[in-house]
Amino acid sequence: MTIKAFQKYRPNLHFAPKENWLNDPNGLIYFKGEYHLFFQHNPHDTIWGPMHWGHAISKDLISWEELDIALYPDDHGTIFSGSAVVDWNNTTGFFHDEPGLVAIFTHHKDSEDGRPAKQTQSLAYSTDKGRTWFKYEGNPVLSHETKIDFRDPKVFWDSDNNKWIMSLATGHTITFYSSPNLIDWKFESEFGEDKGSHDGVWECPDLFKFKTEETEEEKWVLFVSIGDNGRSDMGSRTQYFVGSFDGSVFKEEHNDVRWLDYGKDNYAGVSFSDIPEEDGRRIYLGWMSNWRYANEVPTVGWRSQMTLPRELSLRKVRDKYIINQKPVGELNRYFERNVNIKDIAIHQGESKMYNVDEPYFELFLEIAKGDENQFGISLNHTQTNRTTIEYDSKSNTVALNRDLSGEVAFSEMFSLEQSVSIDDSATLTLQIIADASSVEIFINGGIYAMTSLVYPEKICETVTISSKKGKLSIYDGYLATPSN
């Protein structure tokens, strides 16, 4: 294997493992000045296999240092997804002089006699900022006699009711448990029957509280990832529910299905625990892939990466509560705005081209939406490869096409169009961040997101903005490339 082949498609702004396989982010947590990213990891191959918890740390959520593997398989099974918390008040009894980290994760043990695998919840703890982990000798702490799918615990401290709450994926439902000490768990309720989408098995829940930006109303949000059923055009993806939670029961307030992302490559994402109150953000990170083709993407020596970390908020848009997401502010330090794109009119049949030829870039545009508008943005990777983003005022949709973006033959679904119907506001804003093998689009300030992998020879030589129908009026915008 050549160094060039090994580094091909490796991202500059996104976390990817040094080598071998990565999937779900696990144990996202902030503690003593460090962001911790644990992740599903097969250290022996570039395809999914016996799961460990890989580990990386960061000071700014963008530059990551990969550390030694945190959790290894044991007699209880391999180490599936889970979460981590700071036990500030030593509810577990694991700590003495100061708080420490506790990981709550799924043990997955395959049966040797043909029966279904067994999934149970277990604990590990660290007294040295996550560098060393000790498995709890009483593992597992939670099991179920009949549920085969019983995994992905996401835990938080419910300060209103003075107890830990666990959200657990249980087939096509989410089951809530509570505990005073992370060891002894009590069933609270089960949510999900006849709710939302059931196109695939439910996974990787996350329950948290927001105040809406517009009204300061307090709402609870539940994220649920949905596995690939092998038939849909989207594969695996993530939905969310908005409602209330009383410490025991979650109740949704809507009947429609709400998708977190309209691209194909954002799955199993959860939010960071223990972000300081003075920071106040809800920060999210997802796995940038899709189970339909995750094992086949054309990287060499390593496989998969994470999305950009995103700041989440809850907005009320025309009486509908919507998750808004935008890249974390720390990302701005990695860009320098060197081309202004302001007060520009592009008439039908015309285009404007901007040179890029950098390893990554950001393009922002604020555009007037006309009644008869069709325009396109082409990321010209090379003279023959391109990814296009198009807007059509008649259907009021934004679409991304990657069928000519580079390597696409590894999956029939990879080349299918990705699109979203947007609101009828007078302007359209597009924030496009392209890295070595990805394009992330945040539409209208982050009301809509579209996350997509691409595999070109290089990310972009030029960007072309063209009008296919009507006059395209760009009020404001810029092109930003790597800062020095």
Domain range annotation of the chain: 3-327, 330-482
Low-confidence ranges of the chain (pLDDT < 50): none
CA distance 224 to 169: 8
In a 13 Å sphere around the CA of 30, the CA atoms on its Cβ side amount to 18
Q: What is the pLDDT of residue 29?
A: 98
Tokens (6 digits) for 128: 């040295």
pLDDT tens digits for 136-192?
999 999 999 999 999 999 999 999 999 999 999 999 999 999 999 999 999 999 999
∠ at Cα 58 (54, 64), nearest 5°? Answer: 60
Which residues, 6 or more positions from 163, have their beta carbon under 8 angstroms from its beta carbon? 157, 178, 179, 180, 247
CB 308 within 8 A of CB 452: no
Backbone angles phi, psi at 314, to 5 degrees: -115, 120
Q: Which amino acid is at 170?
A: T
DSSP category for residue 130:
T
CATH of domain 330-482: 2.60.120.560
- The two three-digit tokens of residue 461, written as one number: 């030589």
What pLDDT, on a 0 to 100 scale, did the predictor assign at position 66? 98
According to the model, what pLDDT value does residue 426 have? 81
- Tokens 């999934």 correspond to 119
Burial (CB count <10 Å: 0-12, 13-18, 19+), residue 145: exposed
The C-alpha angle with vertex 35 and arms to 32 and 37, in degrees rounded to 5, equals 135
Q: Which CATH number fits domain 3-327: 2.115.10.20, 3.40.960.10, 1.25.40.10, 1.20.1250.20?
A: 2.115.10.20
In this structure, are strands 302-303 and 20-31 parallel, antiparallel, or unpaired? parallel
Nearby residues of 442 by Cβ (< 8 Å), 6 or more positions away: 325, 326, 327, 430, 431, 433, 448, 449
Amino acid 115: pLDDT: 85
Residue of 24, 149, 228, 274 marked active site: 24
Tell me the C-alpha distance between 29 and 2, whole Å: 36
pTM, two decimal places: 0.97
Answer whether the bond into residue 140 is a cis peptide, omega within 30°: yes
**Do residues 202 and 223 make contact, with C-beta atoms less than 8 angstroms apart?**
no
pLDDT at 1: 55
Task: Order the strands of the 351-355 sheet from edge to edge.
Answer: 351-355, 462-469, 374-380, 386-392, 397-401, 418-421
Phi then psi dihedrals of residue 319, to 5 deg: 65, 20
CB 178 within 8 A of CB 194: no
Is 24 considered catalytic here? yes
User: Comparing C-alpha atoms, which of 156, 61, 70, 152 is closest to residue 108?
Assistant: 152
pLDDT tens per residue across span 380-439: 999 999 999 999 988 999 999 999 999 999 999 999 999 999 988 889 999 999 999 999
The CA–CA distances, whole Å, from 368 to 279, 314, 424 equal: 34, 25, 11
pLDDT value of position 215: 81
Expressed in percent and rounded to 5, the helix, strand and coil fractions of the chain are 5, 50, 45
Per-residue burial over 406-435, b if 16 or more Cβ lie within 10 Å, else e, is: bbbeebeebeeebbbebeeeeebbbbbbbb
Matching residue, tokens 């990787």: 204
d(CA 441, CA 325): 10
Q: From the CA atom positions of the chain, what is the Rg in Å?
A: 22
Residue 4 CB neighbours (<10 A) = 8
The answer to whether 452 touches 266, Cβ cutoff 8 Å, is no
